[in-house]
Amino acid sequence: MNIPNIRLLSQQLAAPQFNTPLEVVDWFGFMQAQEKSMLPWAVAMRMKRPSLQAYRKAYDEGQIIRTHLFRCTWQLTTAQDLRWMIPLCADSSRRAARGYLKQTGGAISEDEEKRANELLANVLQGRGSVTGKELKALLDERGLTKDAHTLSVYLRFAEYDGVICSGKFHPSQNTYALLDERIPRQPVLSRDEALALLARKYFRSHAPATLADFAWWTGLPISACRTGIDNIKDELTEERYHGETYYLHGDTRTRGCRSQLLLLPSFDEYLIGYKSRHHVLADEHRPRAHTNNGLFFPVIIAGGQVVGNWHPKGPTTDYFDPAITHDATAALTRYCRFLDS
pLDDT category, 313, cuts 50, 70, 90? confident
Q: Please state the domain extents for the chain.
A: 3-182, 191-249, 261-340
pLDDT over 70 (residue 267):
yes
Q: How far apart are CA 195 and CA 201, in angstroms?
A: 10
Mean pLDDT to the nearest integer, 211-225:
97
Query: H/E element holding 340?
Result: helix 329-340
Q: Supply the pLDDT for residue 146.
A: 67
AA identity, residue 150: T
- Which CATH code is given to the segment(s) 191-249? 1.10.10.10
Q: What is the pLDDT of residues 56-102, one digit of tens each?
A: 999 999 999 999 999 989 999 999 999 999 999 999 998 888 887 88
pLDDT over 80 (residue 273):
yes
pLDDT over 90 (residue 212):
yes
pLDDT over 90 (residue 224):
yes
Phi then psi for 68, rounded to 5 degrees? -85, 125
Q: How far apart are CA 42 and CA 268, in angstroms?
A: 7
Rounded to a whole number of angstroms, the CA Rg of the chain reads: 20
Q: Supply the pLDDT for residue 82.
A: 97
The pTM assigned to this predicted structure is: 0.94
- Tell me the range of 43-52, 130-139, 254-263, 317-326 where mean pLDDT is highest: 43-52
pLDDT category, 260, cuts 50, 70, 90? confident
For the ranges 44-48, 143-147, 327-331, the lowest mean pLDDT is seen at: 143-147
pLDDT over 90 (residue 213):
yes
- More confident position, 142 or 121: 121
Q: Supply the pLDDT for residue 97.
A: 84
Q: How far apart are CA 45 and CA 42, in angstroms?
A: 6
115 exposure class (CB count in 10 Å sphere: 0-12, 13-18, 19+): middle
Q: Supply the pLDDT for residue 51.
A: 95
pLDDT over 90 (residue 275):
yes
Q: Supply the pLDDT for residue 145.
A: 66
Question: Between helices 79-102 and 148-160, what is the axis angle to 10°?
Answer: 140
Question: Mean pLDDT for the chain?
Answer: 93
Q: What is the pLDDT of residues 163-200, one digit of tens each?
A: 999 999 999 999 999 999 999 888 889 999 999 999 99
